[in-house]
Structure 1
Amino acid sequence: MLRILVPLHSFEPGGVERVALRLARAWRSAGVRLHLVLGRDERPRPDLAQGLDFDVLQQGMITTAAFETLWMLAKLPGRIRHSRPDLIFCPGNSYAVIGALLKLLLGRSCPPIVLKVSNDLRRPDLGPFARFWYRIWCRLQGRLIDRFVALSSAMRDEIKDMMKVSGDRVSVIANPALSRAEAAALAAPRGARTSNGKRYLAIGRLVPQKNFLLLIRAFSKIAAPEDRLAILGEGPERVALENLVAELGLRERVLLPGHIEATGEWLATSDIFVLSSDYEGLPAVVIEAMAAGVPVVATDCSTSMPELVDDGRLGRLIPPRDLERLAEAMQTPVHACANEARAMVDRFTVERAAPNYVALFEILVAQTGLSWGGGGFTASQPGNMRG
């Protein structure tokens, strides 16, 4: 029986953590033994966490949020030695530093590590100096981490190029953005609209990466008096967004209701979904919008986006940070064929992804030929950590 350790910083809203919890539930049902290590447990647990057991690292009243990565690195080696996992799964780019440093800290005592690459690696938002060091960091990950999971075929090529790894170390598994039951619920018929005007919707953490400032400016350029824009999420940019809304005189027309876990009702009453990000991996919110039958307007913010919108058949793509093009696209969205949208959504369900992960884990554990001995994780037969 596979034993998988999964580190999670917290239950704070984030697509990476939601996907990890969805996979964990499916893996547990498949008989995988899970050790879910949670950095801190400071907020109500989301529905996806119900029924799962967590090993919470933070004890007492002092929060570890400001140094969560260092805290996890200090505590994880002991947890690994105690639970003796066959493999460690890092569920997104923000956990890459944990995987890489565990390899350096534990050496041959470290189980194989699989990293799901959840964000764009080319990072066009970075300046030349920062991008130079970021490329070095990507190559270091390629030297230390055993296997990578790409969310699309295009992302696989990006990982090979940026991490400087061979193709046999990168697997393509579509991001499990939702379950088939969740997709069916989102696709349920919607009631008749009672209000006038268009309803625009965006979902995501209020952080610079999402570029909601650009979205609000685009909305101000094209919105009719009855139109409304809702941005569901919470984060450090709230004050900046509220100030811009006030500056543009949009207080009655732009809603910032905070983080909403159940977004189905908002999608059901929306006319257009907008993704304005500077960079992404493969955004689950776009898949949710497709499942709900809401036309999608999105920035071309990752190598996966053209594949996701089927080169324009399932949504409109515009360059990142292009105010004029975003505003124009919000007025002329693509109305996708329902059958084609459903087929695309089904590719990104947990029912399809979870077994593929388990198969990858089983192959990697068998290839490494490693097992826990008295002194740690050691070779029990000839094996190659890089496959």
Structure 2
Amino acid sequence: MNAQPAALTQADPAATRPLRILTCLHSFAPGGVERVALRLHEAWRAQGLDARLVMGRSSGVMKRDWPGLAFELLGSQRVPHASWETLWMIFHLPAAIRRIRPDVLFCAGNSYTIVAVSMRLLLGKACPPIVAKMSNDLIRNDLPPPARLFYRMWLRIQGRVIDRLVGMAPPMREEIASLMRAPQQHIAVIDDPSLAEADIQRLAAARSAAKAAPRGPGRRFLAIGRLAAQKNFGLLIDAFSRMAGPDDRLAIIGEGSARRALEAQVERLGLTAKVRLPGHVSPLDAELASADALVLSSDYEGVPAVVAEALAAGLPIVTTRCSVSMEDMLGGGRFGLLVPVGDAAALAQAMQDIAKLKFDETAARDQSRRFTVEIASHGYRALMEGLAHA
């Protein structure tokens, strides 16, 4: 009897084992991109997939939120590299890919796409298929015209090199197709998994308890995010100073390089008794439960996790038009007010008017269920399995 070709007699090992997904993150520093990536990684492992995680550093306050999480560190930790973390990852990740041999490389957000493109250039055909989530606005009107031109060129390079581009809400599909010049068949839309169903139940319970408790006079405004230029919290402080009554309060939750400038602004405007900057807070339940409105003052965003969290908590939202997806998230105006980017007067007026919004907490909570990891993890899994087995 003639021997059969090896291709017919030997099963492909990759086809007989669970899908192997490799996610790379810089650190556990607080950020929406990293938090969502960790949620997805945990969900994939719970589904029996061979999900692997590599980290540039093991530091960061979010590490305490993920006890027992298994991960591999890239390179020696004796060399400080926080200031050049992207180059560090580009240098060390190829060896990890060759060793782990993933079926798919998951790029968690826009800040990691330079790593993904570099892997394709460095590894060539040895690079696994890349799935990249577009975590930020692609238009970037905040950039000066020359920088915006180069940014658009960079987007087109990504559109040619990355195998699948994932928009975090339906309006992003056309934005990706137009600005990244990606074919429609290379674009998927999966609502950003910033929540789990358990989070929604917990936030709803915290909100109910806060409503039942006595509280003092005045309105409570809440902002959440890295203290960085993108979030434009200086604009928010300016807007708050224009509309705040004697008993109104503003809390800006987060940490970052802009802290000193924001604290100086608060002091200059005489708001030290009214504005809190407590740093990173986790969990956010108590802050969301006691607030009257969430405020976003960002210059640009993707699909902000804090908006989904606010919807789950039954909290109305005031936000700049910092994302093509924002109107969709707010249900066409049912769950919040939109103002132009960079307009302090408009932001102040919307903060004044938000209490007049006919806000339905139950409907807002139902809207938040779009953004659960229970739904998104299966969407990503189906996308990756189709790509790996193509």
Fold agreement, TM-score > 0.5:
yes
- The answer to whether structure 1 residue 182 and structure 2 residue 184 are counterparts is no
Scaled by the length of structure 2, what TM-score is found? Answer: 0.92
Q: Distance in 2 between matches of 1:132 and 1:190?
A: 50
Instruction: Look up the equivalent residue of 1:190 and give its one-letter code.
Output: A
Q: Distance in 1 between matches of 2:128 and 2:72?
A: 19
Q: Distance in 2 between matches of 1:136 and 1:40?
A: 31
Structure number with the higher helix fraction is 2
Q: Distance in 2 between matches of 1:277 and 1:108?
A: 39
1:156 to 161, 173, 177: 173
Q: Residues 287-326 of structure 1: matches in 2 within 5 Å?
A: 287-326=308-347
1:15 aligns with: 32
Bigger mean CA deviation after superposition, 311-320 or 47-56: 47-56
- Report Cα offsets for 1:100-127 as digits up to 9, x if no partner: 0110000111100000000000001001
- Report Cα offsets for 1:233-289 as digits up to 9, x if no partner: 000100110110011000111000001121110111111110110100000101111
Structure 2: any 5+ residue segments left out of the alignment?
1-17
Q: Residues 159-308 of structure 1: matches in 2 within 5 Å?
A: 159-188=176-205, 189-191=208-210, 192-308=213-329
Bigger mean CA deviation after superposition, 56-65 or 251-260: 56-65
Q: Distance in 2 between matches of 1:14 and 1:131?
A: 24
1:125 aligns with: 142
Scaled by the length of structure 1, what TM-score is found? Answer: 0.93
1:83 to 93, 100, 116: 100
1:350 aligns with: 373
Instruction: Look up the equivalent residue of 1:113 and give its one-letter code.
Output: I
1:43 to 52, 60, 63: 60
1:290 Cα deviation after fit = 1.1
Bigger mean CA deviation after superposition, 208-217 or 335-344: 335-344
Aligned residue for 2:29, secondary structure, equals coil
Aligned residue for 2:371, secondary structure, equals coil
Count of aligned pairs: 367
Q: Distance in 2 between matches of 1:138 and 1:315?
A: 31
1:45 Cα deviation after fit = 4.7
The answer to whether the 8 A contact 1:315-1:335 is kept is no
Bigger mean CA deviation after superposition, 172-181 or 54-63: 54-63
1:140 to 134, 157, 162: 157
- Report Cα offsets for 1:13-43 as digits up to 9, x if no partner: 1000000000111000001112201001123
2:361 aligns with: 338
2:44 to 10, 24, 27: 27
2:4 aligns with: none
Bigger mean CA deviation after superposition, 53-62 or 284-293: 53-62
Q: Distance in 1 between matches of 2:360 and 2:260?
A: 39
The answer to whether the 8 A contact 1:18-1:48 is kept is no
Post-superposition, which runs of at least 4 consecutive aligned residues in structure 1 deviate over 6 A? none
For the aligned residue pairs, the C-alpha RMSD in angstroms reads 1.1
Bigger mean CA deviation after superposition, 45-54 or 146-155: 45-54
2:20 aligns with: 3
Q: Distance in 2 between matches of 1:201 and 1:144?
A: 40
1:44 Cα deviation after fit = 4.6
Q: Distance in 2 between matches of 1:184 and 1:282?
A: 21
1:48 Cα deviation after fit = 4.4
Aligned residue for 1:123, secondary structure, equals coil
Q: Distance in 2 between matches of 1:43 and 1:233?
A: 13
Return closer, same or farther for 1:207/1:186 CA change in 2, 3 Å cut-off.
Answer: same
- Report Cα offsets for 1:122-142 as digits up to 9, x if no partner: 001001000000000000001
